[in-house]
Amino acid sequence: MKWTWVLVVVLLSFGSISLGKDSLDFPEYDGKDRVHDLNAKNYKSVMKKYDIMVVYYHDHPGSSRAAQRQFEIEELALELAAQVLDEFDDEDIGVGLIDAKHDKAVAKKLGLDESDSIFVFTEDEVIEYDGELAADTLVEFIYDVREDIISQLIFILLSELKGFKNIEEDIKLVGYFKSHKSEHFEAFADAAEEFHPHILFYATFNPKVAKALDLKLNEVDFYEPFMDEPVVVPGKPYSEEELVKFIEDHDRPTLRKLQPHNMYEIWEDDVDGEHIIAFAEESDPDGFEFLEILKQVAEDNTDNPDLSIVWIDPDDFPLLLPHWEKTFGIDLSHPQIGVVEADDADSVWLDMDDGEDLPSADELEDWLEDVLLLCKINVMLYTECAVHHMDVFYDDEL
Amino acid sequence: MKWTWVLVVVLLSFGSISLGKDSLDFPEYDGKDRVHDLNAKNYKSVMKKYDIMVVYYHDHPGSSRAAQRQFEIEELALELAAQVLDEFDDEDIGVGLIDAKHDKAVAKKLGLDESDSIFVFTEDEVIEYDGELAADTLVEFIYDVREDIISQLIFILLSELKGFKNIEEDIKLVGYFKSHKSEHFEAFADAAEEFHPHILFYATFNPKVAKALDLKLNEVDFYEPFMDEPVVVPGKPYSEEELVKFIEDHDRPTLRKLQPHNMYEIWEDDVDGEHIIAFAEESDPDGFEFLEILKQVAEDNTDNPDLSIVWIDPDDFPLLLPHWEKTFGIDLSHPQIGVVEADDADSVWLDMDDGEDLPSADELEDWLEDVLLLCKINVMLYTECAVHHMDVFYDDEL
């Protein structure tokens, strides 16, 4: 093995004379306007200029000062994202706005129904971004979109298996194929494209890796988040359609993590109008312990289609913390689990005595069973699993 | 154990009629100005109003449009932070600005030397915030400041040990004491106050926990980041001063992670004007593997005072990624390690063949030894470990 030195002549991108800390400094907004206002006249020519186009189809901002300022914040976030994306030399990435009041027709022509959403147009497809409107989260999503599907299918080496196992927050699939040219690999890669960049696809052509993963030729394993053991996708070899169908049937995990880049997507995917929400701070000893219990419960109940626990690490959402504490009436310095109505945030929480007295996996399972049963009864009675009806059945003790 | 239901009546904080997704929505800026412009006339009365005061002592913004807009972005970030912090009912937290051109005298009276920094004034002390100027990172830092030191000293239970061990990114200390009232515990808590909230302090009064941690009475263990094994602080029982001295002597770890909340602090703490920087994306199989190698190297060389590797996970800094790729001339989709000059970002990188060919821990140690030796020679010759002189000794092969 040869280690060669590469001497890098530094190109200072900001041309400033003071060079101090330049390599670390956050990009400051350079004042150049990059975000396009798309309308019926210009949208075709603007979009033709870029390889990837990020479009924020926004509601028309209200006239109050707060609404105006809020829209300004959103615009500035997009300007900052556009400036950062502009630094890539090999690809042109543009950012544009469509106003839902003035340019609904343009949105319609582009196939956009839902306003207040961000869409990423690539050569082949339109990908919806259902995350936080913040420059960093959005830019990171675009990085994932940019990645070539095939290079995303990292051909894992034996030495990388530990790292592969360590990825547990997202759904991932791994397949073993003869080579790049195998038609079964092609079907796998085509299926990957359908879910890119939301679901991770890995492939290996290495028999040793396959053996370590217990994968037969042309077989694909599906890993739910936080599950050590995968499910073998049945019926190998698979067509693209079979793989797509399997994934669509299994894309609501038993335990899933709310993350800035997927928060709205998960929130919209409620179960009977309700979410089971668990707050646990992984970097806190009691949060970590509670998370271990949640993982245990998820593993034991992975076959229950009614159960999907949304894990929120408060560290990921510092700006929402006081709002959640107020809305839910809970103290988020300790782990919490409860049922929250998706539409009006009515909620019921398990009393865990400020985290001093965490439930065992079995106790938590009993509680969850009761909650799900109550939900079913409520759905029959009221057509929804209404949290505010739960106290009809239970007084203050379970 | 009793699990009681707590029915929460939801107080909708925004009073909106449409209740949709309210519990999840990011707080939008409400248009109310909360950030104070502090000057000689008002600073005393304003600061008296708050339990905690966050002060951004900023350079006077330039007159260019870019500089004005950049300052506006910073102001909006602080407004958003102030609005979020305003939601706490039990404590008043204020945010203010001091202009370094107009109100240097005010800053001086408050004991602030360095402009372009944020300071947090609490009842007892002034804490410098050396992180990213972003609402979320700043607000999270304030949460840590708010936490009572004694409650920060979580009295770990046996069941929480796994979570305690899992905290590896920060320096942490753990002590075993007889009780709350022990004078040795008091010295420990006083030392904790000195480093709050930058360093984590834990204590236990539970002999079983102490036994599991191999701690004797009144003994304190010091954990460097990413080290499984702690160092026992010598000379128990300790006075506050002894603890403080030990920590100050050991606060530059062999491997440390650059994080948004500490990035400037770490960058300023260079070794002979240089940083050894390792980029590794933990959520990527090859990044994870490289990180394991780095941890191994750090463990083997923890006694070398000249070695401090700064690990950067590109996922934590999406806005800097294209800037770093350009400045350093490297591809950050693979792990990288190099030497970077802190002041002008001159850099030399180990050629790792796009991550296909990661070095073993031994090979990496050899490389680092060479780098450190070169540094020492350069310091003698040029009074600095100048990266741009490294090619004098080596042509393109090491």
0.90 surpassed by complex ipTM: no
Assess whether pLDDT exceeds 90 at residue B3: no
DSSP, collapsed to helix, strand or coil, labels residue B158 as helix
Q: Assess whether the region B36-147 and the region B255-386 belong to the same CATH fold.
A: yes
DSSP string, A235-278: SSS--HHHHHHHHHHT-S-SEEE--TTTHHHHHHS-BTTEEEEE
Assess whether pLDDT exceeds 80 at residue A23: no
Q: CB contacts < 8 Å between A and B, how many?
A: 314
- pLDDT mean over A320-338: 92
- pLDDT mean over A315-319: 94
Tell me the one-letter amino acid at B387: V
* Four-CA torsion B327, B329, B335, B341, nearest 10 degrees: -50
- Look at residue A154 in the predicted model and tell me its pLDDT: 67
Assess whether pLDDT exceeds 60 at residue A223: yes
Contact call for A7 and B388, based on CB within 8 A: yes
- Look at residue A14 in the predicted model and tell me its pLDDT: 29
CATH tag, B255-386: 3.40.30.10
For A233, residues 6+ apart whose C-beta sits below 8 A from its C-beta are A173, A219, A220, A221, A222, A242, A243, A246
pLDDT winner (highest mean) among A6-20, B174-188, B368-382 = B174-188
Which CATH superfamily is A151-249 part of? Glutaredoxin (3.40.30.10)
Q: Which residue would you say has higher pLDDT here, A283 or A16?
A: A283
- Look at residue A389 in the predicted model and tell me its pLDDT: 62
CA pseudo-torsion sign B31, B37, B41, B43: positive
Assess whether pLDDT exceeds 60 at residue A156: yes
A357 and chain B in contact, CB less than 8 A: yes
Assess whether pLDDT exceeds 70 at residue A314: yes
- Tens of pLDDT, residue by residue over B142-195, are 999 988 776 656 666 788 888 889 999 999 999 999 998 999 999 999 999 999
- pLDDT mean over B218-235: 96
Q: What percent of chain A has pLDDT over 90?
A: 61
Q: Check if the beta carbon of residue A171 is closer than 8 Å to that of residue A200.
A: yes
d(CA A344, CA A154): 42
Spell out the domain ranges in chain B: 36-147, 151-249, 255-386
- Look at residue B150 in the predicted model and tell me its pLDDT: 63
B164 and chain A in contact, CB less than 8 A: yes
> What is the pLDDT of chain A when averaged over all its residues?
86
Query: Which of B67, B160, B363 comes nearest A285 by C-beta?
Result: B160
B:203-262 residues touching chain A, CB 8 A cutoff: none
- Look at residue B13 in the predicted model and tell me its pLDDT: 26
> What is the pLDDT of chain B when averaged over all its residues?
86
| Pairing, β A172-176 against β B200-204 | unpaired
Contact call for A69 and B29, based on CB within 8 A: yes
Assess whether pLDDT exceeds 70 at residue A183: yes
Q: What percent of chain B has pLDDT over 90?
A: 62
- Tens of pLDDT, residue by residue over B382-392, are 777 766 666 54
Comparing alpha-carbon positions, the chain B residue that sits nearest to A76 is B73
- Look at residue A398 in the predicted model and tell me its pLDDT: 41
- The structure tokens listed for A86 are 């502009």
- Look at residue B16 in the predicted model and tell me its pLDDT: 29
| The pTM of the whole model exceeds 0.90 | no
Q: Check if the beta carbon of residue A173 is closer than 8 Å to that of residue A193.
A: no
Contacts of residue A319 in chain B, CB cutoff 8 Å?
26-27, 80, 84, 135-136, 139
- Tens of pLDDT, residue by residue over B85-132, are 999 888 899 999 999 999 999 999 999 988 989 999 998 889 999 999
DSSP, collapsed to helix, strand or coil, labels residue A280 as coil
Q: Which residue would you say has higher pLDDT here, B219 or A124?
A: B219
Neighbours of A362 (CB within 10 A): 12
- Tens of pLDDT, residue by residue over B267-283, are 989 888 889 999 999 99
- pLDDT mean over A183-194: 94
CA pseudo-torsion sign A194, A195, A196, A201: negative
- Tens of pLDDT, residue by residue over A208-220, are 999 999 999 999 9
Which CATH superfamily is B36-147 part of? Glutaredoxin (3.40.30.10)
Confidence of residue A176 (pLDDT cuts 50, 70, 90): very high
A28 and chain B in contact, CB less than 8 A: yes
Confidence of residue A393 (pLDDT cuts 50, 70, 90): very low
Q: Which of A8-22, A49-63, A105-119, B337-351 has the lowest mean pLDDT?
A: A8-22
- Tens of pLDDT, residue by residue over A253-292, are 999 999 999 999 999 898 888 899 999 999 988 899 999 9
Confidence of residue A355 (pLDDT cuts 50, 70, 90): low
Q: Which of A5, A143, A328, A340 to mutate to test the interface with B (most CBs of B within 10 A)?
A: A5
A:47-86 residues touching chain B, CB 8 A cutoff: 64-70, 72-73, 76, 80, 84-85
- Look at residue B386 in the predicted model and tell me its pLDDT: 67
Assess whether pLDDT exceeds 60 at residue B394: no
- The structure tokens listed for B152 are 């920060």
Q: Which residue would you say has higher pLDDT here, B22 or A131?
A: A131
CA distance B276 to chain A (A): 13
- pLDDT mean over A356-365: 88
Q: Which residue would you say has higher pLDDT here, A234 or A3?
A: A234
Neighbours of A199 (CB within 10 A): 16
Comparing alpha-carbon positions, the chain B residue that sits nearest to A371 is B5
Any bridge partners for residue B203, and if so which?
B155, B175
d(CA B307, CA B157): 35
Phi (first) and psi of residue A293, to 5 degrees: -65, -45
A:260-289 residues touching chain B, CB 8 A cutoff: 263-264, 267-268, 282-289
- Look at residue B355 in the predicted model and tell me its pLDDT: 60
Contacts of residue B76 in chain A, CB cutoff 8 Å?
69, 72-73, 76
Q: Check if the beta carbon of residue B195 is closer than 8 Å to that of residue B223.
A: no
d(CA A211, CA A221): 13
